[in-house]
Every structure is written in structure tokens, then in C-alpha cells.
Amino acid sequence: MNAYLIRRVLLGIPTIFMTVLIIFFMMRILPGDVAETMLIGGSSGGSGVSVPQETIDALKKQMGLDKPLHMEFLTFVWNTLRGDFGDSLYTGQSVWSEIKARAPVTLQIALIAKVLAIVLGVPIGILAAIKQDSMPDYLLRFWTITFLAIPSFWMALLVLLVGGLYFNWMPPVGAHPLWEEPVTSLKQTMWPAIILASHSMAVFGRMTRSTMLEVMREDYIRTARSKGLSEKVVIARHALKNALIPVVTMIGLTLGGLMSGTVVLERVFTIPGLGTLFINSINWQDYPVVQAMVFMVALTFVVVNIFVDVLYGWLDPRISYGTT
């Protein structure tokens, strides 16, 4: 097991490095100049305003953007290895402090969405498989396909329009810490979390149904039934564990998707989380913030996938982590 974990961690390093490399150079090829943008007061507020090149060069030197591109990249990699993401080019604040201030609300939305998706999606898939080709199965499949087809941003706009036009209701804007004002915080994040969970719930439901149907046709399920075990015992002890292996993989892969899904929903519901910070940083060409956030998302993907691989061994003892 230890050798397997070390091997998986080593394989994850190139993934993170390539992600960082791509986002580093992509940010540099975007049109515009971050120093000029800051001097003219924003990407949309400086049309027709000219700034002396000497002033732009001086600001670039102050921000450390006057170095060759490869030197900037090496500096960024070295600082990242030391846990130093630098300072925001736009606000001058530490990147880590910017992320730390906005991370709780985004993590709250993502975790609530993940829990809702699992708690609703897996039982839906199990019920649909047990009641295959019956009315409940047809209804649940229609429900999941509907949520798969509807984009989350469109659903968010629909909630706002229906709530405002017909019920004179709008969700509270902003973000309050859960540990200080739990009721207000849940009111602010519950609707984005529900909308974000709807797509993942549909994915988990359909995946669980497919794997359950496949497992229920296996010989050991027929053997368990021939021994006189009740259907509940057959499903809970023999079918569910094996059927959940692909579902666990999907749950791990969609975690990063939930984090990225908050980008649009935070914008729609005016929540100052990591998604809003990410969009603003791209608009401002705030390289350190964007690079740090992409690095953290890539690291999250790698860590979650390693955890999922280890979880396989508990779900299916036949899986071996020995060298092959």
C-alpha cells in the first residue's frame, strides 16, 4: 500500500506541473497589459486614455513583471513549492489572504451540494434499478435526464426570475460566516448549493442505476438469492458495495467540477467567493491569484483521486495495491 501511494503521488506531480505551466503561459498571451489596465483604472474604464510608456515600465518593474518569461516561471514554481503565492497585482494583498477570506463560502456551497447530490442521487439510482421498467423507474429517469439537460446558470436565473416576479422574493446577497450567523449563511448559500447539486445528483443517479443493474445480473447475486436471503440483504450486502465502485469514481471526479460550477453561480447570486475572485482576477489579469487558484484546484483533483483509489480497497477486497 505504501509503495502504491508513493507511486500515485509521484504520478500526480507531472499533472500539477503541466497544469501550472499551461495556465502560466495562457495568462501571458491574453490581450492587454496588466500594468496599463491598473493605471487607467480597470479593463472597462480606460477607453481612450493613454499612459506614458515610462510609467507603465516603472509599474512593471515594481510588480516584478519586467523579467524574462522563463525567469518569472521559475520564480513562481520556487515560491509555490515554499507555499508563497505572492501578492495580488491589483489589490496588493497577499494571494493567500485573498483566497482564505473567500474560500469558506465557496467550500460551504460545494460541500452542501456534494452531500445533497450523494444523499439524493444514490438512492434514486438504487430505487430505479430495483423497479426497472416500472413507473417509478420511468419517472426517476425522466427526472435525472431533465436535470442533466438544464444548465446550472439557466436554472439559477429561472429561480431568480420566478421568485422575483411571482413571489416577490429574492435570495439574500453577500456571504456571512457559517460559524457567526448560521441561519443567514445557509439562506445565502442553500439555493446555489441546490442548483449546483442537481446536475451531480442526476449523474450519480444514472450511474448508480446502470451499475446496480449490471451487478444484479451477476452469478453471486443469484447464488445469494438461492440461499434464501431476503432482497434487502442481497442488495445491501452483496450488490451495493460492488455497484458503488464506479459511483465513487464519479463522486471524486465531480468534486473539482463542483468547485468550478460555483464560478457562475456566485456571479448570479452575488456571492463574494472564490468564483467571483477568479472571474475578477482574469478580467484584471491578476496573474498570481489565477495561478494560485488553478494550482489549488489541480492539487485537489490529485488528492481526491488518490483517496478514491484507496477507497476501492475497502469497497472491494479483491483489489490489490501490490506492484504489477
Question: For 58-112, what is each residue's pLDDT tens digit?
Answer: 777 767 677 777 787 888 888 888 878 888 877 778 888 888 888 888 888 888 9
145 with 200, same domain: the answer is yes
Distance from C-alpha of 224 to C-alpha of 129, rounded to nearest angstrom: 18
Judged against a pLDDT cut of 70, whether residue 51 lies above it is answered with no
Residues 159 and 231 in one domain: yes
pTM of the model: 0.77
Burial of 293 (0-12, 13-18, 19+ CB in 10 A): buried
Q: How many domains does the chain have?
A: 2
**pLDDT above 60: residue 46:** no
Q: What is the CATH number of the domain that holds 247?
A: 1.10.3720.10
Residue 118 has pLDDT above 80, yes or no: yes
Residue 73's Cβ-count burial label (10 Å; 0-12, 13-18, 19+) is middle
Separation between Cα atoms, residue 197 and residue 262, nearest integer Å: 11
Residue 88 lies in a domain: no
pLDDT confidence of residue 167: 82
pLDDT band for position 116 (cuts 50, 70, 90)? very high
State pLDDT tens for residues 16-29: 888 888 888 887 77
Which of 47, 81, 115 terminates a domain? The answer is 81
Residues 290-318: tens digit of each pLDDT = 888 888 888 887 888 777 777 766 666 66
How many other β-carbons are positioned within 10 Å of the β-carbon of residue 48? 5
241 & 131 share domain: yes
Q: Are residues 173 and 71 in the same domain?
A: no
Answer whether residue 194 is part of any domain.
yes
Please provide the average confidence, as pLDDT, over all residues in the chain. 80
**Both 49 and 166 in a single domain?**
no
Beta bridge partners of 87: 94
Residues 163 and 310 in one domain: yes
Domain that holds residue 133: 101-315
Residue 95 within any structural domain of the chain: no
Q: Are residues 130 and 62 in the same domain?
A: no
Q: At what angle do helices 95-130 and 182-216 cross, to 10 degrees?
A: 40
Looking at the predicted structure, is the pLDDT value of residue 250 above 50? yes
Residue 266: pLDDT band by 50, 70, 90 thresholds?
Answer: confident
Yes or no: say if 140 and 128 are a contact pair by the CB < 8 Å rule.
yes
